[in-house]
Amino acid sequence: MILGVGVSFNPMDPEFVADPYPTYRRLRDDDPVHQSPLGFWVLTRYDDVVAALRDPRLAKEAIAAFVAARLGTTPSAGTTLSMLDRDPPDHTRLRGLVSKAFTPRVVEGLRPRIQSIVDGLLARVARARSMDLIEDFAYPIPVVVICEMLGVPVEDHERFKGWGLDLARGLDAVLLPPDSGVAERSLAARRALAEYFRGLIATRRASPRGDLLSALIAAEEAGDKLNEDELLATCILLLIAGHETTVNLIGNGTLALLRHPEQLRRLREEPGLIGTAVEELLRYDGPVQRTARIPSMDLTIGGREIRKGEMVMPFIGAADRDPAQFADPDRLDIGRSENRHIAFGWGIHFCLGAPLARVEGQIALNTLVQKLPELALATDRPEYRQSLTLRGLKTLPVTF
């Protein structure tokens, strides 16, 4: 498809997948609020994206019906919508039930365990002097952490790894041909995960433990408990969202540091910068590139009239490289102090797991940098996952 004057934008083009930022820049300059031939609006400026994420007129629940109409399916297929896809008041109720498990105070208490996991993974590959950073390091860290928090047997992670990939790919179903099979695989994965959790929930009902799943079963907020469909949707969301994006944060962050040796050296010499470094890596090449909303009424964004029911896609990855908000936005600067990035979203759907992702990223990247002084890329062309929504690497071979 063509966006703007002379701007070619094919979200599944390998060149775009490898590096979307030049295209984002041209879109911001030429046509920042563009109606795509695929039937959705593309927002690329920081101010427009933030305004869209904060605007209650731009809703989430209508997306299911929009996607179903595009794919020729029924919006009720599969399990109940998770809180990520709900609007208030249901979103508020569901988020309140799980938010206590992800407060900064609770997450800080997990630091020793996360450090232990990271140290153990590096010890496992020490003799090999090489690894696939995604498979051997970035993936296991958040998977083990969220499994232990939820009470999911860690040894089952191979069972739900493929389901997670299919669910993540399903986020792009609306952009793909109806016969691509992506939507069907995503739905099958959701059903498989729901069945998996049904069995685990039954076990926890009979014998509760001190884990998040047991707490969710017993949870009550303002006198309103989760029903089983909502419980299943919440468990699936926490399991998948609890690791998918953090894998990308660690993978994308490591790649960015290795491609900017002066910043890698600076972090190695100044480990106290890890906090601002992680924020900059989130801004520079974030794990979530876009989201979506449906207007509940006609509205105007950036001077363009958008009708009720049309899909709007705020591109977070484009907003986080907007020079109107970030000085020299294409430069990686791990000491960047003015950094109001939106990698975790904005407004009521701000990422619930942001404190956990930050701590996991800080520990993983700092330990990697400090313990492996000879860390280097083993490929010139890392392979990215085919996704417009989640930006991450399939593999990242490194030596050390």
Predicted confidence (pLDDT) per residue in 7-45, tens digit? 666 777 788 888 999 999 999 999 999 888 878 899 999
35, two tokens: 């109606």
Domains, the chain, ranges and CATH? 14-399 (1.10.630.10)
For the segment 373-397, the average pLDDT, to the nearest whole number, is 93
Q: What is the pTM of this model?
A: 0.93
The better pLDDT of the pair 287, 161 is held by: 287
User: Comparing C-alpha atoms, which of 240, 245, 292, 236 is closest to residue 67?
Assistant: 292
Predicted confidence (pLDDT) per residue in 185-235, tens digit? 988 999 999 999 999 999 998 999 999 999 898 876 456 677 888 999 999
DSSP per-residue codes, 29-65: HH-SEEE-TTSEEEE-SHHHHHHHHH-TTEESTHHHH
Q: Can you give the pLDDT at residue 8? A: 60
Predicted confidence (pLDDT) per residue in 40-92, tens digit? 899 999 999 999 999 999 999 999 888 888 777 765 444 688 999 999 999 99
The dihedrals phi and psi of 8, each to the nearest 5 degrees, come to -90, 125
Give me the percent of the chain exceeding a pLDDT of 70.
95
Predicted confidence (pLDDT) per residue in 268-291, tens digit? 999 999 999 999 999 999 999 999
User: Comparing C-alpha atoms, which of 187, 215, 31 is closest to residue 106?
Assistant: 215
For the segment 326-339, the average pLDDT, to the nearest whole number, is 97
User: In the chain, helix, strand, coil percent, each to 5?
Assistant: 55, 10, 35
CA 64 vs. chain centroid, Å, equals: 19
Q: Can you give the pLDDT at residue 2? A: 43
Judge whether residue 3 has pLDDT over 80: no
| Burial label, 296 (beta-carbon count in 10 A; 0-12, 13-18, 19+) | middle
